[in-house]
Structure 1
Amino acid sequence: MPLSWNEIKSRAMAFSRQWADAADEKQQSIPFWIDFFEVFGITNRRVASFEHAVKKHGGGQGYVDLFWPGQMLVEQKSRGKPLEPAFDQAMGYFPGIAERDLPHTLVVCDFARFRVIDLDTRREITFALADLHKHVRWFGFIAGYKTQEIRPQDPVNIKAAERMGRLHDALKASGYGQFGSAPERAGHALEVLLVRLLFCLFADDTAIFPAQGFRAFIEERTAPDGHDTGPLLAQLFQVLNTPPERRSALLDEQLAAFPYINGRLFEEPLPIADFDAATREALLDACALDWAGISPAIFGSLFQSIMDAQARRNLGAHYTSEENILKLIKPLFLDGLRAEFERVRHQRNRLFDFHKKLRTLSFLDPACGCGNFLVISYRELRLLELDVLRAAAELQGQSGQRSIDVHSLIGVNVDQFHGIEIEEFPAQIAQVALWLVDHQMNLRVGEEFGQYFARIPLVTSPHIVHGNALTLDWAAVLPPARCSHVLGNPPFVGHQWRSRQQMDDMARIWGGEGRFGRLDYVACWYRRTVEYLQGNLAASAALVSTNSICQGEQVATLWGWMLANGTHIHFAHRTFAWSNEARGKAAVHCVIIGFGLQDLPGKVIYEYDDIKGPAHAVPAANINPYLVDAPNVLLPSRTDTPPGLPQLKKGSQPTDGGHLIFTTAEKDDFLAREPLAAQWMRPYIGGEELINGNGRWCLWLKGIPPAQLRAMPLVLQRVQAVAEARRRSPTKSVREFAAQPTLFTQDRQPDAPYLAIPEVSSETRHFIPIGFLGPDVIASNKLQIAVGATRFHFGVLSSTMHNAWMRVVAGRLESRYSYSPSVYNNFPWPFCTLDSKQKVPPAQVQKAQAAIEAAAQAVLDARAAFPGSTLADLYDPLTMPPALLRAHQKLDAAVDRAYQLAGGPKSYSGDAERVAFLFTLYQRITSLLPVQTTPPKKPRRRGAGLAAGGAGVDAV
């Protein structure tokens, strides 16, 4: 166990007095440095060597005065000799030192003076021998105090995982764990062995083991060819699992120096691994890293990825960054605890009660993976406890009491953290990661108060259960009455990507109704969490989710159940990019939702102007399932078009195997060979073509006389290919349509001009680009079309008001907006709630409507001024013409004035206010409507009061 700082300082002062007159390098250097190490409690001669031979820069032979591989190099001179040449001499040794042995600290000394350089940070200091006691913390690593900043993006995390990856590959190639095991357990032994080695590497650099004890054991006790490395490791593991009083009296001294670890980490018997020279070198390379600086919060995920060669090529792509974890835990519990601490920090009794409260908190992550959320939560709780101890020390100092005993006061422990993980290896990593961060925090406490503090042997353990969280009883892992917070990042899997087991999980949790099958897999954890919280209404939860559960058709299905079972949303991060800074980074568009079964004040929505940018907190009176400050409204998948509005429907679908569709080049080539087909060739427009102008064409053979068809053999070949493709379809209705190969399987083509809305549009645009098309342009099924739409409808749908609504309620395809008739049918149009009680003169309505029409025409005119530009060009925020932008601003003003007639404000600070108003308006509208239940088989118009006021508007 390392000495306390007070003891080290006392020894340093005695050392300075003892060696005050030392001057001769040759005679006194070795005893000087032996005594120096004893200042820090190191008497083992194994840690460093004197007169270590190396090749100097240029090829000559040199001798390092003192060398501790991977830690420290010392160049000693006689008293009065200049230190600068000694520094240059020391640096000249570095080319001859193996990379894994390069030191992090360089010392040059002439007995009277020390010059110390931290080669990692480039910090340095020069001080006199008499002042050694003032600067002993520069040598804290000798005693075992190695507190350093744990940086999640530090390249050492990637490097460490890569070195473990090489070791993993070498052991796997040897067949370790593959023979004599059941197939499902084939990789188990290798996984456990790697977890044990991870712990040993970390222990070597953090004073759990004697200084560099594990590395010295491998280097000194195992043969260079590696033949005895496996058996000696097995012996070491047995020692680590044996209390000192039960160890053999004849146990080797070097092995006996290792502590008893416990915690069941070294309990399971493992097959003895076979090493060769290369495998032993891979292990020593891993030993050479400074594992004290590893971030357990991310290293677990990196470590897991080494088990898969494909995943390792993209190493670091899927770990969860600390920044994103803090987005969840700060509003869930950390901000509240920090605020409470600030209120009580100067009051002894209340501070004592607050400290006791920290020990009572319990956390459950029901999809914990490698434990990232639990590790960061534990670390932050320990940092808060450290602040409590500082405050307690200050209060004691004010009252004249002696310093606090941290050994007895540290209360927060890993047994407050519980997790469920379906895969065994990540579950093991999660447990070890919590132990690692526990020890890092213990080192930090020791550094702070000068009292080494460690929890070895491991008496308490985190409760990580290997199993399926959707079949396990969570109460058996942590009784809900003891749970404070549920948190985590359950898996995101859309309905089309689920495995058979995941489909069974969905059916078990949600039942067999088809609408539940459309939910994202993560919705299972929401339901299980709410059911679990029924046992403790005071507990709260926060989960990371795909943003799809707050958009489109999933909202009513999931949140209808959640709200009916008493759920209240306490805070929410709206859509942002869940990414990290590692190589091959992966980004998903996510939300974070904090919720519980109590309605709490102080609700907050975290808004993102840019999904990759910072969030800004916005207070909210209520957070609804669409994550806006508005009433708890659930929009149905409304199929009925409100009265007075043109129906919105999909375009036509060919289901033709591609044989009726042409690019422009293909069309030109086809017509050159079959010129009679020109009168049957039509422009074919989907969302891509509407926005980007990439022309496609189709054979539109509706009504073609048989004689004309026979006169075009190439067209006839295409028709025959359509019939064959349809006959091969697994869908019965498509096979039946093989009898009509000249027709699209779904013909919704209008015979009049229509408004076209792309089904999918980029999230980077402020407006969905929409436009009017003629009846000769065939709309594909990737367009939503409205026949009979006017400039009024175009203007409202092109406004910021409608686009703000769309951004909240539309579904998403990846991050892009997916526009459906439900967005349109549920939208609260202007004038839709006006009745006789509001006493708005019809003339005002007509004036507002005319203003929208005029502004809409101005937008169309502004577009027409750039005939060579596509809608993608015109609506790209970077290239949008100023004239078009001004036209849209005038259109927004006209639409906003129309909504003022329904009680809307004169201005809006942003989309959030617009959507909040629209939800309130929607609630007012639907209070006049019957609830839409199961969609009728035949289209019917239902509900008065949603009229858009478009009757009598001239068509464009």
Structure 2
Amino acid sequence: MARLNLKAVEERVTPLGARDSYDREFLFELLLAYGKPKGNVTRLRNGSLNVAAEPEREVAQKNVVYFREATGDPLAEVEELRKAAHVVRFNPRFVIVTDYVELVAVDMKTGENLAIPIHNIDKHFTFFLPWAGMEKALYVAEAHADVKAAERMGKLFDELLATNPDLLKLPHGRHALNVFFTRLLFCFFAEDTGIFGESQFTNAVGSHTQLDGSDVDGFLNDLFVALDTKEPSAKPTYLADFPYVNGRLFAAKDTQVVPSFTRQARQLLIDLGTLIWQEINPDIFGSMFQAIVTPGTRSDLGQHYTSVPNILKTIEPLFLDELKEELDSWFNSVKKLEALLDRISEIRIFDPACGSGNFLIIAYKELRRLEHAILERLAELDPKYVVLYAESRISIENFFGIEIDDFAVEVAILSLWIAKHQMNAEYKDKFGVAIPLIPLREAGQIQAGNAITTKWSEVCPGDKTSELYVIGNPPYLGSRNQSAEQKRELSTLTPKYKSLDYVSAWLIKGGEYIRETNAQAAFVTTNSVTQGEQVGILWPQVLGEDLELGYAYTSFKWSNHAKNAAGVTCVVVSLRGRSSATKYIFTDEIRVVAERINPYLADAPDIWIGRRSAPLANLPRLGFGSMPNDGGNLILTDAEKDELLAVAPQMTPYVRGFSGSEEFIKGKTRWCLVIPDDALKSSIQIPEVRRRIEGVRAHRQKSTEKSTKEKAATPNRFYFWAHREADSVIVPATSSERREYIPIGYLDRTTVISNSANVAYGVAPWVFALLTSKTHMVWVKAVGGKMKTDYRYSGTIIYNNFPVPPLSEEMEESLTVAALRVLDVREYHCERTLAQLYDPDLMPDELRAAHGEVDRIVDSIYSKRAYETDEARLSDLFAMYEAMIAEEQSTIKERVAK
């Protein structure tokens, strides 16, 4: 079934908002509107697919929806269902409750809520788009107080730093300030969540300190000592009501770090206490808070934290989905559920680039929620279980991390405490049993250090029997953006480090760690490590003969709830030992089973595409255009050309069009001087020509390259001359990633193509059709890599390795007709540049249709069936590439044998 687009979904949902009345049929029509199969909806309607606990008023389909007709308050009922074990068991994407007047829904993946009059469903149709395979760009429903709190913390940080300029000069001054701010954050959270009395900390500061702030440091110092003191009688009377916290947070050795306050700083501190901290999300706030106190990152507040949906892309397929499936399978077995509880209590989670801990926090929360669901079901089967388990068995001591930033380590530990308290509150809501957070006993296993130079098994030990999962979002840093020290670190892991992104270190070390411990890993990383030359350099070492990709998310745009989300394209890759377990490729939230996932993230064998000197297929040679290396002296603008020919019309035969990637795509015109040797003597009689020729000579003579200096003897010639007197196909070396097709085209025999583009001469139109097809674009994206975010076209990697089988004359003719149609449509719109014609928002319908016909014909070369996904195209391309390489090697062996 074809997937629906946004407009189609809107059109199908709109009639549901125009009803006079609603009944149970509403749900089934809603599901059909988002493209759910009619057969499944029919079975849901007649009850054969309905797995709801109360089918007389509920409808449930695993992984899709849990729907209830409300008998009371819909808001209360949706909250009850969201946490219920039988709902967690079926892992529905949406929980919906309605009394057919009001509709309340929750997105179980993102936490986003919807509460609307049911007749306004058409105005909120985007909420349920994941049913149609379209994930929302901003998933996270965190309160904006997270950002506001971080920004206000920043103001207090700046004020204290200005007041205490010598603090950072102390040997451990920055660490001291970092610890101080983590203590403040704990106190704010504690007084809003029942750990302290309500507003106890803020009221104490306001009641027991002077307005000018002069004694705030002394008061806070005494308070921190009190929070690390067990006996109330040992505390000052005015602090005796504060509880004993313990833990490393208020250890006495760090109490000397309180900075001096001003009137402004005191007021900022009190203002921070007026925010609602109980709803703070430690997974986002930690990253924002880190940016506040880390030099040079304030402007990037929150932009690099990983949103909950992106974290779930690592932990769900890695282990959480399997655990939920076991809950489902063993729902009626006390013994099996006890075994599942034992299992999850032993799981270790390790993030070797943990930052402020957001991956660990979400993994902890998800395991706690699963534990709650198991206990709830056990209590239904045998009521003794609520009494038996008055403490969570999911210990934060099983959560490990390495982080190079000192402050982030402190925030990660604090955030785990906050997450634990929040989950304890959920436990109390569900079972009526309070699990106190303090005194703090667990601190997690977060260590400060460099993950590249640290032995991971010493931080998170394990053996072949341990259930251990490595997750995270390591730092990316392309090969050109690394410091000398980072290059040196990479060099300790691989001799081929120079062309690798920094994140490669985590993939290499992840592979080594898996071999030691039998762990499994999943990392969010830029898609650059699954494209271009890096694939062949990196992945043979990572995978070796014993590891595989267990699942992968193909390229997706980075998104989170921050003001300025980082503009990168990411993938998720999981590593594990080779096994017969099912492998999955996720694209746009659609999951496809794969036989083998190669490092290009295609369902195909492991293949390493390297540089190749000649085309694998029967295609004309493609190479760089001509390079002037002339200091600009042989190149002319329109005005310069007109001015020269006005005074020297005899130079007309020696002035040629000159085009590179930018000129061709953006419709710019430039010219070049192509003066043959036998015309040089007469040409330099013209002063302007003589000036330019001498300019070339001088430019080349200044070079430190021997070959360039030698070319100074022939300043009328290009440094490298590739031009042929024949029509040429120009393939731009770079092109915007927004375009569905790289604008490839023909130029006449007089135009010289520059070295900023690729060129092939005497090319038949059917070759043009191949190169401008969607199939070729899929190949470009997979093996070509990027220049920043632009496509980067390499003749030796992309073109020469592109697999094309022998074509019949009939197929060449069909491709020729389709190619000429594309060129005709372009010519019809000649007033527009190719940049405009290939802008996806501006592309004319007839040009899109012409390309569609090219795509249909080219696809038929590779498959008898129409492709539904680009991943299917890529899988067939790799299969053909592998077959052609095998045939080529066989032919070579036969020739050698002869």
In the superposition, the TM-score normalised over structure 1's length comes to 0.75
Query: Which residue matches 2:435?
Result: 453
The reply to whether residue 238 of structure 1 matches residue 221 of structure 2 is no
Shift of 1:720: 4.2
Of 587, 591, 603, which aligns to 1:607? 587
Amino acid at match of 2:243: P
> SS of the residue aligned with 2:571?
strand
Alpha-carbon distance in structure 2 between the residues aligned to 1:865 and 1:339: 58
Alpha-carbon distance change, 250 to 859 in structure 1, aligned in 2, over 3 angstroms? closer
Shift of 1:800: 2.8
Matches within 5 A, 1:910-949: 910-930=869-889
The 8 Å contact of residues 152 and 321 in structure 1, kept in 2 or not, is answered as no
The reply to whether residue 407 of structure 1 matches residue 390 of structure 2 is yes
Alpha-carbon distance change, 362 to 768 in structure 1, aligned in 2, over 3 angstroms? same
Alpha-carbon distance in structure 2 between the residues aligned to 1:774 and 1:556: 37
Amino acid at match of 1:510: T
Query: Which residue matches 1:797?
Result: 771
Of 151, 168, 173, which aligns to 2:157? 168
Alpha-carbon distance in structure 2 between the residues aligned to 1:383 and 1:510: 41
Query: Which residue matches 2:599?
Result: 625
Of 528, 539, 542, which aligns to 1:548? 528
In the superposition, the TM-score normalised over structure 2's length comes to 0.79
The reply to whether residue 286 of structure 1 matches residue 272 of structure 2 is yes
- What do the CA deviations read for 1:593-650 (whole angstroms, capped 9, x no partner)? 0121132432211113xxxxxx222222221111111222222222223474311111
Alpha-carbon distance in structure 1 between the residues aligned to 2:296 and 2:455: 34
Query: Which residue matches 1:937?
Result: none
Shift of 1:340: 1.3
> SS of the residue aligned with 1:317?
coil
The reply to whether residue 861 of structure 1 matches residue 836 of structure 2 is no
Shift of 1:923: 1.3
Amino acid at match of 1:160: A
Of 503, 509, 512, which aligns to 2:493? 509
Alpha-carbon distance in structure 2 between the residues aligned to 1:896 and 1:311: 47
Query: Which residue matches 1:562?
Result: 542
Identical aligned pairs, as a percentage?
37
Query: Which residue matches 2:472?
Result: 488
Alpha-carbon distance in structure 2 between the residues aligned to 1:678 and 1:635: 46
The 8 Å contact of residues 332 and 541 in structure 1, kept in 2 or not, is answered as yes
- What do the CA deviations read for 1:787-839 (whole angstroms, capped 9, x no partner)? 2221221122223332222232221123322111111111111228xxxxxxx
Query: Which residue matches 2:567?
Result: 587
Runs of at least 5 residues in structure 2 that lack an aligned partner in the other structure: 1-112, 116-138
Alpha-carbon distance in structure 1 between the residues aligned to 2:577 and 2:386: 43
Amino acid at match of 1:450: G
Of 319, 336, 352, which aligns to 1:350? 336
Alpha-carbon distance change, 290 to 706 in structure 1, aligned in 2, over 3 angstroms? same
The reply to whether residue 477 of structure 1 matches residue 459 of structure 2 is yes
Shift of 1:500: 1.0
The 8 Å contact of residues 848 and 897 in structure 1, kept in 2 or not, is answered as no
Matches within 5 A, 1:254-273: 254-267=238-251, 268-269=253-254, 270-273=256-259
Amino acid at match of 1:556: G
Alpha-carbon distance in structure 1 between the residues aligned to 2:690 and 2:892: 45
The 8 Å contact of residues 236 and 255 in structure 1, kept in 2 or not, is answered as yes
The 8 Å contact of residues 180 and 258 in structure 2, kept in 1 or not, is answered as no
Shift of 1:732: 5.2
Shift of 1:261: 1.9
- What do the CA deviations read for 1:84-137 (whole angstroms, capped 9, x no partner)? xxxxxxxxxxxxxxxxxxxxxxxxxxxxxxxxxxxxx999xxxxxxxxxxxxxx
Query: Which residue matches 1:876?
Result: 839
Amino acid at match of 1:300: G
Of 788, 791, 815, which aligns to 2:762? 788
Alpha-carbon distance in structure 2 between the residues aligned to 1:547 and 1:277: 50
Shift of 1:665: 4.9
Matches within 5 A, 1:369-380: 369-380=355-366
Query: Which residue matches 1:222?
Result: 209
Alpha-carbon distance in structure 1 between the residues aligned to 2:704 and 2:457: 45
Of 477, 499, 511, which aligns to 1:530? 511
Of 424, 427, 436, which aligns to 2:409? 427
The reply to whether residue 828 of structure 1 matches residue 828 of structure 2 is no
Query: Which residue matches 2:41?
Result: none
Alpha-carbon distance in structure 2 between the residues aligned to 1:502 and 1:671: 55
Alpha-carbon distance change, 724 to 486 in structure 1, aligned in 2, over 3 angstroms? farther
The 8 Å contact of residues 617 and 804 in structure 2, kept in 1 or not, is answered as no
Shift of 1:313: 3.5
Which deviates more, 527-536 or 853-862?
Answer: 853-862
Query: Which residue matches 1:300?
Result: 286
Query: Which residue matches 1:652?
Result: 626
- What do the CA deviations read for 1:402-432 (whole angstroms, capped 9, x no partner)? 8535524x11021111111111111221111
Shift of 1:736: 5.0
Of 863, 871, 888, which aligns to 2:851? 888
Alpha-carbon distance in structure 2 between the residues aligned to 1:256 and 1:333: 46
Alpha-carbon distance in structure 2 between the residues aligned to 1:787 and 1:850: 20
Q: Which has the larger radius of gyration?
A: 1
Alpha-carbon distance in structure 1 between the residues aligned to 2:512 and 2:545: 9
Amino acid at match of 2:412: A
The reply to whether residue 909 of structure 1 matches residue 868 of structure 2 is yes
The 8 Å contact of residues 736 and 790 in structure 2, kept in 1 or not, is answered as yes
Alpha-carbon distance change, 346 to 714 in structure 1, aligned in 2, over 3 angstroms? same
Matches within 5 A, 1:73-472: 153-175=142-164, 178=167, 181-182=170-171, 185-244=172-231, 249=233, 251-267=235-251, 268-269=253-254, 270-308=256-294, 311-397=297-383, 403-404=386-387, 406-408=389-391, 410-472=392-454
Amino acid at match of 1:831: P
Runs of at least 5 residues in structure 1 that lack an aligned partner in the other structure: 1-120, 124-149, 609-614, 833-844, 932-940, 946-956
Alpha-carbon distance in structure 1 between the residues aligned to 2:879 and 2:114: 60
- What do the CA deviations read for 1:366-394 (whole angstroms, capped 9, x no partner)? 11111111111111111111212222222
Alpha-carbon distance in structure 1 between the residues aligned to 2:257 and 2:782: 56
Shift of 1:230: 0.5
Query: Which residue matches 1:61?
Result: none
> SS of the residue aligned with 1:618?
strand
Alpha-carbon distance in structure 1 between the residues aligned to 2:552 and 2:617: 36
> SS of the residue aligned with 1:291?
coil
> SS of the residue aligned with 1:823?
helix
Alpha-carbon distance in structure 2 between the residues aligned to 1:239 and 1:322: 36
> SS of the residue aligned with 1:211?
coil
Amino acid at match of 1:857: L
RMSD: 2.8
Alpha-carbon distance in structure 1 between the residues aligned to 2:702 and 2:323: 64
> SS of the residue aligned with 2:741?
coil
Query: Which residue matches 2:655?
Result: 681
Alpha-carbon distance change, 272 to 373 in structure 1, aligned in 2, over 3 angstroms? closer
Alpha-carbon distance in structure 2 between the residues aligned to 1:357 and 1:475: 21
Shift of 1:215: 0.8
The 8 Å contact of residues 574 and 591 in structure 1, kept in 2 or not, is answered as yes
Alpha-carbon distance change, 793 to 675 in structure 1, aligned in 2, over 3 angstroms? same
Alpha-carbon distance in structure 2 between the residues aligned to 1:284 and 1:359: 40
Alpha-carbon distance in structure 1 between the residues aligned to 2:538 and 2:726: 40
The 8 Å contact of residues 732 and 744 in structure 2, kept in 1 or not, is answered as yes
Alpha-carbon distance change, 801 to 251 in structure 1, aligned in 2, over 3 angstroms? closer
Shift of 1:544: 1.2
Shift of 1:723: 4.5
Alpha-carbon distance change, 722 to 391 in structure 1, aligned in 2, over 3 angstroms? farther
Shift of 1:491: 0.9
Shift of 1:314: 4.0
Alpha-carbon distance change, 851 to 310 in structure 1, aligned in 2, over 3 angstroms? same
Amino acid at match of 2:316: K
The 8 Å contact of residues 681 and 697 in structure 1, kept in 2 or not, is answered as yes
